Each structure stands twice: as structure tokens, then as C-alpha cells.
Structure 1
Amino acid sequence: MARRKSNVGGYPTGRILFSLTLALLLIGACGLLAIQSKRLVTQVRESNEVRAFLDSDLSDSDRTKLAKALASEPFVVTDGSTPQIRYVSKDDAAREFIAETKEDFTQFLTDNPLHASYRIRLREDYFAEDKLKEVKESVEKLDGVFEVVYPENMVDNINRNITKIYAVMAGFALVLLVIIVVLMNNTIRLALYSQRMLIRSMQLVGATNGFITKPFLLRGLTQGLMAGVIASTILIILWYIALVSLPELGTLTDPLHLLMLAGALVVLGMLIGFLSTLQAVNRYLGLSLDELY
């Protein structure tokens, strides 16, 4: 039986495409995790409330004016067009206090000493110690506000822990990206090893470096584009499968951010394919015949 001849300049396109797709899928998974983490952090920060305690003698009309004034402030979270402000009466405050402390002060006090209050959810931009102090001072200047309090220790702890988490995630993502780029660069270089004689032959017949390099770069761009599209498609499909199983995940990812991530994977795939191919081709263009062997 005759031995099958290998094509001159045979190129393992399928292997390159498979490797690059897996690498981009891994990067995309990390990017999706980062997006979800950012959204989760936003929800945690915006779920905390600042309490504006009201004067005891505040009338209903003055309380309504105060609510409108608070709703117009830029630091208040809005759900659609609804400001996230809720009124807690003295009786509701008493019930909350009894439920939290398990102590019923109404048994030995004839008058409720607690103040009615507005519970205000702040935008994430204001979830910092200096910003919260500005909010406190601004709200306390409003007529009818007795005092403004917020959980200072909790705010400091949340911000400190979030900073540590972000630092660890950024370091891990950077190391992962470097490893993937190096591995893909070596993979494409090994793949182009089979093309070294073809490159040398083109040089011998007088082809310029630009003429030789162009088709390889176009192939690298095409492979990067295909790998990016495939990886993005797989990532989106896996995300929607997870969303069917756990609908709560929908609150952690904006579809627009998911599409932006998919576009970034396509661009990154093309960039890796282009640069890795360019570096490998330039390496073989500069080798002598002895070095090629």
C-alpha cells in the first residue's frame, strides 16, 4: 500500500482553532464572573440604608414635603423612576426594635421614645466614608430631620473586603491572561514550524517579507475571529442554560454587558491570532537555511 504523502506546508488549522477557542472560553468565563461580582457588589452596597430620623412634632404635610426633597437628591437609588425611600412610623420602629432585641419596652414605658424615620438607599457612588458624611450633613440640614445615622463599621468592612477581593481577582485574571497568551503563542509558532520551508522557498524566488507575511496574518485573523465567535456562542449558551436552572442569576448580569463581553472575546481572539502569527512568521523569516533544519 502506497504511503500517503503529506501536503507541503500542511497547517493544523483545527488544532489551532480548538486551542484558541478553549483559551477564549476560559477568559470569557473569568470575565463573566467579574461582571457578576461587580453587579453583586453593587447590590450589596445599594441594599444598605441610611436612616433619617424625623422630629417628633413633624406634621403630615411637612413630612410629605421632606419626602419630596429627599426623592430629588442625586444620591438616592431609583428603581425605574421610583426613589428607594420608605417611611417607618414610630409604631413600626417599635415593632422592629422588639423583634430585634426581644425586649418589649412598652411594658414599662407609657410613651414610645423612638422617632419615625425615612430609610434611604444610596447609590453605589456614595458608598464611601467621605461621601456618606456629606450625605449625612446634607440631609440633616433639611427641615424636619432630627438625626441621620448609617452603619459606619459595616461600610468600612464591606469596602475593605471588596477591595481585597478585587485585587485577588485582578491578579488571577492577569496571570491567567499571560499564561494563555504565552501558550497560544507557542502553539501557533509550532504550527508554523511546518511552514518554514515554504517560507524559505518564497524567499528564494524573490518574494518580499510583506508578501510572505500577509496570507499568514490573514489566516491568523480569521482563526481568531472564528475562535472568538465560537467561544462567545458557547459562553452565551451556557449562561442561558444556567439562567434557566437558577433564574436569580438574571439579576447579576446585564444582557448588554454579556454582549460586550462576547465582542471583547472576538477582538481578543483576532488580536492573539494576529500578533502570535506575526511574531512566529518574523522569526522564521530571519533564520538561515541551516537554522531552519
Structure 2
Amino acid sequence: MARSKKKVGAYPSGMILFSLTLALFLIGFCGMLAIQSKKLVTYIRENYEMRAFLDKDLSEKKLTKLSKTIAERPYILKVNGTPQLNFVPKDVAAKEFIAETKEDFSKFLGENPLRDSYRIKLTEEYFEEAKLQQVKQDLEELDGIFEVVYQENLVDNINRNITKIYVVMSAFALILLLIIVVLMNNTIRLALHSQRMLIRSMQLVGATNGFITRPFLGRGMWQGLLAGVIAVILLLVGLQLAVHNLPEMATFQDVEKTAMLLGGIVGLGVLVGFLSTFQAVNRYLGLTLDELY
């Protein structure tokens, strides 16, 4: 029975496809974690409240004027054009305090010592100590504001921990990318090992390097594209399952960045398939006959 002829560019590809799909999935998973983390950080920062306590016995006219003045400040967070500025009367503040502490201070004080206040949410770029101090100083200069307070230690801790998380994730992503490049080069080189004699035979009959390389590169790019598409499908399925089981995650979705990430995964698959195949084929093109054996 005659053996089937080998075709240029035809080599075992199952392991390559599996390895590249797994690698791209891991990169995409890290990317999605980064996107979710960024949205979570933004959510935490934009929901942090600074409190501005007011002078006592302000008239409705002064309160209205003060509210408009604060709302016009550039550091005030706006959601759909609405300034995130919440007026809290002292009676409401007293009820909240009693509910938290389980102690009714009005029984032994005879009056409510608390003040009316505004709870203010700031834009994310002002969530750092120096800028918060500037905001505090600016607000306290307004007529009608008694004092502005915020939890300084909490802000420092949040920013410090966020920086650590970003450093760890960046280092992990770089290490993972390096491992993937080495893995794919070795996997494709081993797969092309079965084609080394065919490559040599074509060189002997006068085929140019470009003619020999072309079908391998086409196959490598096709494998990269297919692996990228499979990885994207797996990521989307995983994301939908996560949102289904944790509906709160829907708040932290960024459709635009997620689409860019998934497109980048497919493009990276094609690029890795092309470069790894190009490097592996060129290696065999440059070997002598003795080295081929």
C-alpha cells in the first residue's frame, strides 16, 4: 500500500491549536480581570463621600445658593448631568447616628447637636490626598460651610492597595506573555520537525525560501485566528456565566474595552501564529543536512 504524500505546510496541528487557545484564553482572562478591576476601582472612588457641614440656621435662600455654587465646582461628580450632591438635614443625620450606635443622645442632651450637611461625591481624578485637601480648602472658603471632613486614612489605604494590585497584575501578565511566546515557539518547532526533510528536498530542487515558507505561514496564521476565535467564545461564555451567577458584576462591565480586548486576542493569535511559524521555519531552512538528522 502506497504511503500518502506529505503536503507542504501540513503537520500535526491539534496540540498547537490547543496550546495557543489555552494561552490566549489566559491572556484574555487576565485582561478581563484588569477591566473589571478598573471599573470596580472607579466605582469605589466615585461612591466615596466627602461631608460638608453647614452653619446653623441658614435660610432656604442661602441653602439654594450654596447648593448651586457647590454643584458648579469642577470636582463634583455628575451622573447623566446631575451633580451628586445630597443634602442631609440634621434630623435625618441624628436618626442615622442612633441607628448605627444604638444610643439616643437626645435623651440626655435634650437637643440635636448635629448640623445639616451635604454629602458630596467627587470625580475619580480627585481621589488622592493632595487634591482632596484642595477640595476641602475650597469648600470651607464658601459662605455657609462650617467644616468639611473625609476619612484621610481610608483614602491613603485604598490608593496604596490599588497600586499594589496593578503592579502584581502587570507583572503576572508580562510573565504569562513571556511563557506563551516560549511555549508556542517550542510547540510549533516540534510540530514542524516532521516537515524538515520535505523542506530540505524542496531546497534541493531549487524552491525559494519564500515559496517554501508561504504555506507554513498561512497555516500558522489560520491556526492563530481559529485559536483566537475559540478563546474569545470561551471568554464570552465564562463572562455570561459569571454575570448570571453574580448579577452585581453587570455594574462593572465595560462593553467598549471588552470588545477591544476580544479583538486584540484574535489579532494576537494571528500575530503569534505568524511570528512563531516564521521563526521555526527559518530555523529549519538554515540547517545543514547533518543538522537535520
TM-score, normalised on structure 1?
0.93
Q: 1:123 & 1:100 partners in 2: Cα distance?
A: 28
Other-structure match for 1:238: 238
Other-structure match for 1:165: 165
Q: Does 1:208 align with 2:208?
A: yes
The 3-state SS of whatever aligns with 1:114 is coil
**AA matched with 2:106:** T
The 3-state SS of whatever aligns with 2:39 is helix
Q: Identity across aligned pairs (percent)?
A: 65
Aligned-pair CA distance for 1:285: 1.3
Q: 2:14 & 2:217 partners in 1: Cα distance?
A: 17
Other-structure match for 1:129: 129
Q: Does 1:7 align with 2:6?
A: yes
Aligned-pair CA distance for 1:112: 2.3
Q: 1:224 & 1:203 partners in 2: Cα distance?
A: 27
Aligned-pair CA distance for 1:135: 1.1
Matches within 5 A, 1:251-262: 251-262=251-262
Q: 2:229 & 2:276 partners in 1: Cα distance?
A: 19
Aligned-pair CA distance for 1:153: 0.6
Other-structure match for 2:75: 75
Q: Does 1:93 align with 2:93?
A: yes
Q: 2:135 & 2:148 partners in 1: Cα distance?
A: 9
Aligned length: 292
**AA matched with 2:87:** Y
Q: Does 1:148 align with 2:148?
A: yes
The 3-state SS of whatever aligns with 1:27 is helix
Alignment RMSD (CA, Å): 1.8
Other-structure match for 1:289: 289
Q: 1:4 & 1:247 partners in 2: Cα distance?
A: 58
Q: 2:109 & 2:89 partners in 1: Cα distance?
A: 18
Q: 2:237 & 2:263 partners in 1: Cα distance?
A: 15
Could you list the per-position Cα deviations for residues 91-124 of structure 1 after superposition, in whole angstroms to 9, with x for gaps in the alignment?
1122222223333221222332221111011122
Aligned-pair CA distance for 1:132: 0.6
Other-structure match for 1:56: 56
Matches within 5 A, 1:30-45: 30-45=30-45
Structure 1 residue ranges, 4+ long, deviating more than 4 angstroms after superposition: 2-6
Distance 1:29 1:270, change over 3 A: same
The 3-state SS of whatever aligns with 1:287 is coil
Q: 1:286 & 1:35 partners in 2: Cα distance?
A: 44
Aligned-pair CA distance for 1:4: 5.5
Q: 1:133 & 1:258 partners in 2: Cα distance?
A: 35
Q: 1:157 & 1:72 partners in 2: Cα distance?
A: 29
Could you list the per-position Cα deviations for residues 229-265 of structure 1 after superposition, in whole angstroms to 9, with x for gaps in the alignment?
1211221122113222322111122222221111110
**AA matched with 2:198:** L
Other-structure match for 1:219: 219
Structure 1 window deviating more from structure 2 (135-144 vs 257-266): it is: 135-144
Structure 1 window deviating more from structure 2 (48-57 vs 211-220): it is: 211-220
The 3-state SS of whatever aligns with 2:164 is helix
Distance 1:209 1:8, change over 3 A: closer
The 3-state SS of whatever aligns with 2:33 is helix
**AA matched with 2:250:** G
Mark the runs of 5 or more structure 1 residues left unpaired by the alignment: none
The 3-state SS of whatever aligns with 1:86 is strand
Other-structure match for 2:190: 190
The 3-state SS of whatever aligns with 2:146 is strand
Aligned-pair CA distance for 1:147: 1.2
Could you list the per-position Cα deviations for residues 152-190 of structure 1 after superposition, in whole angstroms to 9, with x for gaps in the alignment?
011111111111122222222222221122111111111
Structure 1 window deviating more from structure 2 (68-77 vs 131-140): it is: 68-77
Q: 1:193 & 1:73 partners in 2: Cα distance?
A: 67
Aligned-pair CA distance for 1:207: 2.6
**AA matched with 1:272:** V
The 3-state SS of whatever aligns with 2:51 is strand
Other-structure match for 2:269: 269
Q: 1:3 & 1:60 partners in 2: Cα distance?
A: 99
